[in-house]
Amino acid sequence: MEPIQWLCEQHPFLTYQCFSIPFAFLFYILAKQGCLSLTYRYLFLASGGCILAIVTMGVYSLLLFISTVIFVLLVCSLSPERVHPWVFGLQMGWQTFWHLLIQYREYYLNEPTDSRLLLSMSSLMLLTQRVTSVSMDLQDGGRVTLMTQCRVFLPLISYALNFTALLGGPLSSFDQFVYFVEQTTISPPPQPLSVISYKGFQVLSLEWARNYLTRLLRDNASSLSVSNNVLTDVLWIWGLAVVLRIRYYSHWKISECLNNAAGLGFRGMVREDNPNWSGLSDGDLWTTEMSCQVSEFARRWNGTTATWLRRLVFQRCKTAPLVMTFGFSIWWHGIHLGQFVGFLLWAAAVRADYQIHKYLKPKLTSTRRRLVRTCLCWLNTQMVMACVVIAIELRSTSSLKILGLTYTGVFPLLNVLFIFILRVLCKTLT
């Protein structure tokens, strides 16, 4: 039992997701063979989520159960156009209460936060995505399939507590979920064992790289405070940000494995013997990290959440939609000081990115200039995102001190400065 205990302590999220994969594959086999009726398919997914929540979160699983009950009651009792304001307000109020309670315990009482509470908060944030996705579908008119299913308790409960998405997403729409549950017996996707093995190998590779980089950074951490070499300090900060981002890629990939094991995420056949399982994904390391623009990185990072934020805030705000979107991200993530600074810097960098590329693109006509611009923009994107990720992940003032002492915080500030320089140039030229 010692290796299992070590895994649970060091990598709790990966451990819980890995242990859930056999049950997801069992669901796929039983559904494909017709052993589960439609009702039992919904029950299997919902009961699996309830058991997983109780086992991993203990008493804090009540946070999810209370939210789910309130959500279902609201959807089934209110008219479609009134559902979203109530669901959004109550869900975000409930989530914010617990975020503030955690901060009170951490910063005022100096008490360590129970890991089960932190896990339940992470799941509650994902639940917020799912319930508001349904409420927006209803407010926007919805479709007939959505409206008829929303008058039934079981599909809504199963969607909210589905064990394949409980701990790690990615976000799928209610219509996608209902279609999957209904069609998995009639037209099942191909066996997912090969894609599970492939993505599982990717997770192992990512975790190996993360552990190796962590040891490397730890070995060189002592020289960070005494080093007078700015380049060395900047590289150390960049390496720390890479380690933090790899953890996300690893989590997203294992969540894809879990969903694929149940049959979710299949997008058809690329070739006769090559199924496409990219239907549910929050991001790919290579594609995201090769982004040469901060705005491009923002769209690719945590893809389903970025799409949800765009629909929930950006497309609905007529005044300063970019600032409002990143401002809501601060609220949704927990309103820590580091998150406040990190997301505002990210918003400013995205705004600067639009302005800079709009100004430079017509002036870069030769291949060499475009290549130089691409390289410099990639370096700028990496350093800006390093500052953003460290500020958001470390959350407290310590992260801001690190960025200041190593001069890494200069990079996003330069992006902000470019906005004012370009405005002055435009006014001068006109």
- Just list the catalytic residues: 302, 333
Question: Residue 274 forms beta bridges with which residues?
Answer: 271
For 361-395, where are the alpha helices, taking DSSP H only?
Answer: 367-394
Q: Is 335 left (phi over 0), alpha (psi -120 to 50) or beta?
A: left
197: its two tokens: 């093995």
H/E element, 22: helix 12-32
**Coil, strand or helix at 293:** coil
CA 169 to chain centroid? 8
Beta bridge partner(s), residue 235 = none
Report how far residue 82's alpha carbon sits from residue 208's, in angstroms, rounded to the nearest whole number.
Answer: 49
Which DSSP state fits 396? S
Measured CA to CA in angstroms, residue 370 lies from 47, 127, 298, 380 at distances of: 55, 43, 22, 15
Q: DSSP string covering 80-148, please?
A: HHHHHHHHHHHHHHHHHHHHHHHHIIIIIS-PPPPHHHHHHHHHHHHHHHHHHHHHHHHHTT--HHHHH
Q: Is 177 exposed, middle or buried (0-12, 13-18, 19+ CB in 10 A)?
A: buried
- What's phi and psi for 270, nearest 5 deg? -70, -50
